[in-house]
Structure 1
Amino acid sequence: MGRDKNKRNLIFKPAFKDFIPENKPFTGVTVLLDEEMEAIYLMDVLNLYQEEAAISMEVSRPTFTRILKNARQKLTRALVYGNKISIQDDNLGYIVALCSSSLENFESILATDKYVLIYKIQNNEIKLLDSFENEVFSKKLKPAIVLPQILMKYKVNIFLSTRIGEGLKNSLFAKGIQAIEKQIDKKEDLINLV
């Protein structure tokens, strides 16, 4: 009897979970496990070294190497054989960041507003992780330069704003953070963003 697999620390939340070849009907389905997607995200998007990525996932380096190898083999076979790629996403929680002109309401939620608010959404519960003054506001800095770095420290999955410039969208995307343009009126609107 094999031993139970240890729980992995996963921070990536896929915005898209299915990829289908366009040219002709797909011949099969390749399922990429959430831990495999995490390994690709850490290595190929964040450009971490394997040792750093293994620490982030809370696995040994040999285990991380095996997970990454499996993920890359699956993706390669899916591309070569024309399979649909489905990404497993068992992690129901996610972390949302937004900038607001107020700590009490969401009247204005723009990247240039005074405060940064970080929320964790898990099992339909909303928990404020942190709130602090936005350096973009206080120091008149560019959102595309400042915000992605801050959001990475909090392992944010989604950045929410009523308007997001292309530079910020691209910077967030490069860090694996989904940018959503949407107005919300209350905290409860943060549930079911993905």
Structure 2
Amino acid sequence: MPRRRKIRKVDAPPKMKGFKPFGILGNDNEHILMQYEEYETIKLVIHDDLSQDDASTRMEISRPTLTRIYNSALKKIGRAFVEGKSIIFEGGEYEFNTVDLKCDTCFGDMSHTESGTMCKDCKS
């Protein structure tokens, strides 16, 4: 019986649902799924310039596990670039550290008001 997967800590969901290539007419069904923990490794190692040791500590996983997730993310990004496919962020074995709400219309930050939840940007 395989060992149960450990939940990976992700700071917050991406600000967007994914990426589409520019200048290619393609089928919307042709996309690559990138899990939230793969996105998080790219964000921590490349954008935040953390070492893999520090990034693995932030995600509460081992460094070899982070390396496997990171390499998987890089392969997906490379495949999307070369094949002209879109990338969609969804799924995985994760838990968000913060609960940030994003607007379904403009993907801006949401805020809580007395009358409910409202987007700071488009006011929807």
Distance, in Å, in 2 between the alignment partners of 1:51 and 1:17 is: 28
Which residues of structure 2 form unaligned runs of 5+?
A: 102-106, 120-124
CA–CA distance in structure 1, aligned partners of residues 2 and 26 of structure 2? 34
1:42 counterpart SS class: helix
Q: Is the 8 A contact 1:54 1:61 kept in 2?
A: yes
Q: Tell me: higher relative CO, structure 1 or 2? Use CA pairs within 8 A at least 6 residues apart.
A: 2
8 Å Cα contact 2:33-2:88 kept in structure 1: yes
Aligned to 1:8: 8
RMSD of aligned residue pairs (Cα, Å): 3.2
C-alpha separation between the residues in 2 aligned to 1:11 and 1:80?
Answer: 29
Displacement over 3 Å in runs of 4+:
89-95, 182-185
Aligned length: 112
Change (3 A) 1:10 1:22: same
User: TM-score w.r.t. structure 1 length?
Assistant: 0.49
1:130-169 counterparts in 2 under 5 A? 157=100
Q: Hey, what's the Cα distance between the residues in 1 that align with 2:80 and 2:56?
A: 25
Q: 1:21 to 1:66 in 2, by over 3 A?
A: same
Q: How has the CA–CA distance of structure 1 residues 93 and 9 changed in structure 2, closer, same or farther, with 3 Å as cutoff? A: closer
Identity %: 28
Q: Which runs of 5+ in 1 are unaligned?
A: 96-120, 122-156, 159-177
Which has the larger Rg?
1
SS at match of 1:189: strand
Q: Distance in 2 between matches of 1:75 and 1:30?
A: 9
